[in-house]
Structures are given as structure tokens and as C-alpha cells.
Amino acid sequence: MATKAEKTREYIIEKAAPLFNKKGYAGTSMNDIMEATGLAKGGLYGNFKNKDEIAAAAFEFSYQRLKADLGARVGPKKTAMEKLHAILQYYRNYTVNPPIEGGCPLMNTGLDADDTYPFLKRKAKEALLEMLHTLQRILKKGVDNGEINPGIEIKKEAEIIYAQIEGGIMMAQVADDVAMLNRMLDHLKDHMKERYSI
């Protein structure tokens, strides 16, 4: 059972996560976090050394939630193609209904961090590589099971899938038009049918 201190820490992270995801690192102040949590400065600094530590924990929280949501949709699927289609389905209408307010934490943090906040960029990079590795694993399983064309370049295809999903999210967010994302997902579905079929 979590201690009072652990519960307070979790509460701060949960309230800070959407702030960092929407406003970015520079745009989120300690005052914003105090306001969102209802805690005084001492309450924050009693649980975290500084804003960097809160930002890192907030990203981790957001990313783990995204991963858990996605895993719940993809995990039960049996075949590689079913898993890939479940991923595309998960991201449909994503910008109007994200698991964390503000959109995709990986993309937001990656763009926000750049070289300015190396500790955040490192976390975003680790998350990106994990997402790509998961896609590669699904594709390889499909090839090994004789379900997906063995002629595909697994690494390249994983990068294409993820780049198009994230690109679709970015365009949909900027244009306030979720149809842009959904068209990209439809295109990916066609691409998979064309390239992966045996």
C-alpha cells in the first residue's frame, strides 16, 4: 500500500502531466503546478528536487498511460496484421480524444525538448525507440508466421508506420482537423495491404 508521501507524489505527477503535455517545459511554471495541485511550494519541493524532476516524471506517467492504452487494444489480438490494424484503429480520432490531455506525449516532448532540455530529449528518444522496436517485433512475427511478405524491410516499415502516425497527429493538431490524421491512417492501411500481402 502506498504511503502518504507516495500518494502525494503520484497526485502531483498526475496533475502536472497534462500541463507539460499541453504547454511544454518552458510554458509550465511551478505556479501552474501549484495551482493544478492546490499545493504550496513546500508541498512540491518536499516531493521533488526541482521542475526538471517533475517534468521527467510527468512524461514517464503520460508515456506509460499511452503504452497501457495501446497495449490493451493490441495485446489481445492474435495475428500480426490484427495487431497492426488495432494500432491504426487506436490512433483514429486521436487528436480529439487522446489518453492524456494535449495530444501525443512522445511527439510533444520530443519537439519541445530538442537540444534545449537533454534530459527530456533522452526520455523521448528512449520511448521512440521502444515504439519502433515494438512495431519491428510485430512485423517480424508476421514474417516468421508466413503472414507478412518476407521481402519487406522490417526496420524501414516500422519507421514508415510510426512517422506517418505521428505526422498525421501533428498535422491534425495544427490544422484542428482530425480528418487529416484519419486519412493518413487509411493510407497506411492501404500501404500495408499492398506491401505486406503474400
Domain housing 187 = 59-196
Per-residue pLDDT at 1 exceeds 80:
no
Q: What is the phi/psi pair of residue 162, to 5°?
A: -70, -40
Cell of 190: 492501404
pLDDT, average across residues 54-74? 96
Whole-number Å distance between alpha carbons of 135 and 167: 17
Assigned domain for 14 exists:
no
Please give the mean pLDDT across all residues of the chain.
Answer: 94
**Is 112 a domain residue?**
yes
Q: Model confidence at 114, in pLDDT bands (50, 70, 90)?
A: confident
Residue 198 has a pLDDT of 81
CATH of the domain at 92: 1.10.357.10
Establish if 35 belongs to a structural domain: no
What domain count does the chain have? 1
Q: Does the residue 145 lie in any domain?
A: yes
Q: Report if residue 37 sits inside a domain.
A: no
- Is there a domain that residue 47 lies in? no
**Count helices and strands in the chain by DSSP H and E runs:** 9, 0
Query: Looking at the domain assignment, is residue 160 inside a domain?
Result: yes
**Is there a domain that residue 166 lies in?**
yes
Q: What is the pLDDT of residue 177?
A: 97
How far is C-alpha 54 from the chain's CA centre? 18
pLDDT at 115 over 80: no
